[in-house]
Amino acid sequence: MYSVLMSTPERLIESTRDLLWERGYVGTSPKAIQQRAGAGQGSMYHHFAGKSELALAAIRRTAEQMRAAAEASFGAPGEGAYARIRGYLLRERDVLRGCPVGRLTMDPEVIADPELRQPVEETLDWLRGRLAGIVAEGRDSGEFAAGLDPRQTAATIVATVQGGYVLARASGTTEPFDHAVRGLLALLAAHTSDER
């Protein structure tokens, strides 16, 4: 499944990422990781102390990739705040598969373990903070209405995206996600000083 050019630790991490997304922590057995990675038990335990350490590396990688994808979608700082938020909301996503970080919040074993939960919590905090900063820039420049609260708006954006994933998965179609993000953009546009 993975390139022979990938190192064994990389194959193990990527296999664990996939399995966590597909099966959750409990369903991700060391044997399944080894089979998917094409690695033996000795090789796995040579590089990682156990399933928990490997899962933590996989969750950190997932969090890093989510941050990078979000940051890339925000566009250049010179663009308007509305355009940057629009870029984030309308970026290409595998909507029916869901958010890999958001799905980890629904995994009881991940949430119960402070070490595994930490990168999930930090990533969602970072995303809300990053969006709040963009909303604040828009408000301070006069693009958004003065009464628009950056933190509340950022929380609404993240909740809309995460909720949109849930609604789309429940219905088996991307339509609820699309309606949610476009509805949010319409509400944000009503708080801008420009016609959108």
Per residue in 69-120, pLDDT (tens digit) is: 999 999 877 789 999 999 999 999 999 999 999 999 999 999 999 999 999 9
pTM: predicted TM-score of the whole model, two decimal places:
0.90
Q: Which CATH number fits domain 60-189: 1.10.357.10, 1.10.10.10, 1.20.1260.10, 1.20.1510.10?
A: 1.10.357.10
Q: How many residues does the chain have?
A: 196
DSSP state of 192: B
Residues 1-48: name the CATH superfamily: Homeodomain-like (1.10.10.60)
* Per-residue pLDDT at 196: 40
| CA 193 from centroid of its chain's CA atoms | 30
CB 141 within 8 A of CB 120: no
DSSP state of 191: T
Q: In which residue ranges of the chain is CATH 1.10.10.60 found? A: 1-48
Long-range pairs for 171-175 at CB < 8 Å and ≥24 separation?
172/96, 173/96, 174/95, 174/96
Per residue in 173-186, pLDDT (tens digit) is: 999 999 999 999 99
Average pLDDT of the segment spanning 23-37: 91
- Extract the tokens encoding 158: 């993240």
CB 133 within 8 A of CB 150: yes
Whether residue 195 is predicted with pLDDT greater than 50 in this model: the reply is no
Q: In which residue ranges of the chain is CATH 1.10.357.10 found? A: 60-189
CB 134 within 8 A of CB 85: yes
Q: Which residue, among 195, 192, 89, has the nearest Cα to 148 in the 3D structure?
A: 192
